[in-house]
Amino acid sequence: MQDVDPTTPTGTRAGFVALAGRPNVGKSTLVNSIVGRKIAIVSDKPQTTRRAIRGVATTEDAQLILVDLPGVQRPRDTLTARMQRRVESELRDSDAALLILNAEEGVGPGDRFIAAALTEAKTPVVIALNKCDRLDKAGTVSALMAAAALGVADDIFPISAKTGLGVFALTQHLRSLVPESPFYFPVDDSSDQSENVLLAELVREQVLRRTFQEVPHSVEVIIDDIEETRADLTRVRAMVWVETESQKGILIGSGGKMIKAIGMAARKELQRELDTQVHLDLSVRVRRGWRGDDRMLDRLGID
């Protein structure tokens, strides 16, 4: 367990909330909404969250540490086995679990699989029924009934992580579930990610938005160097890893058009994060079988 912050005011509450759900139900979007800034990348591709990202949302008297878990799944390789072990570990150590369901798609076998895992973890569970802004009243009622039928939580909140609908009420309830405690993080912190990891994720997000099929799952990004060359200019060197030459060809594109588009979009995100002009050097390298390489996964910080 992490040490508490000694500068915390008295009479506060603080604790960890693990976000669980099928891939692509909106966990990252919800974390960003509650924290109030972008600390987790968002993609319509499943299995894009590989690390248990902690977002920190602090008010005057409460601090929520939101753990955006990798999507709960049956492991397929070394990478997904590590992701699943991290899910189980974070659930054991959390003060509450938030099960996020896609109201538009309804409850399916994957949701029931996760609900059973949460029951075994014996952690208090709250359900967030996401994407309710896309349903009419009758559809929302039907989705709420299906969520209640899981039998894993008494408290169900219809929300839209994208628009903010219902997010405040959900957040207030989560704060009531964490114990009295000093804060774990300084009040200005919004995440426990290092700058290198956050910038690498912002680059990877742009790759995910522009590639399809197996390519997104075979891509990882590492920041090789960050150098402030002037007061108003930062130079960032990033390496994109893929597993095959064909994937490299897709990322570079005809005449380098794809990697140029990725770089331009990523540079805008880096500039927004660093609040300075950015010169981004982006290159692609083949690393065969990196998802099954324990040493490589250690280097990437995927526990």
How is the chain split into domains, by residue range?
13-177, 195-300
CA distance 196 to 164: 29
pLDDT at position 53, please?
Answer: 67
CA distance 133 to 167: 12
Q: How many residues does the chain have?
A: 303
Who contacts 244 (Cβ-Cβ below 8 Å, separation ≥6)? 218, 286, 288
Its sign, for the CA torsion 47, 238, 209, 132, is positive
pLDDT at position 27, please?
Answer: 87
Query: Topology of domain 13-177, per CATH?
Result: Rossmann fold (3.40.50)
pLDDT at position 203, please?
Answer: 95
Report domain 195-300's class. alpha beta
**188, 192, 195, 201 alpha-carbon torsion, rounded to 10°:** -120
pLDDT at position 79, please?
Answer: 61
Model-level pTM greater than 0.95? Answer: no
User: What are the 10-residue block averages of pLDDT along the chain, 303 residues in total?
Assistant: 62 93 86 91 63 83 87 60 69 90 94 88 92 96 96 96 96 96 94 89 91 80 93 95 93 95 96 95 90 70 60
**273, 276, 281, 284 alpha-carbon torsion, rounded to 10°:** 10
CA distance 144 to 285: 47
CA distances from 44 to 35, 118, 251, 269 (A): 21, 25, 18, 18
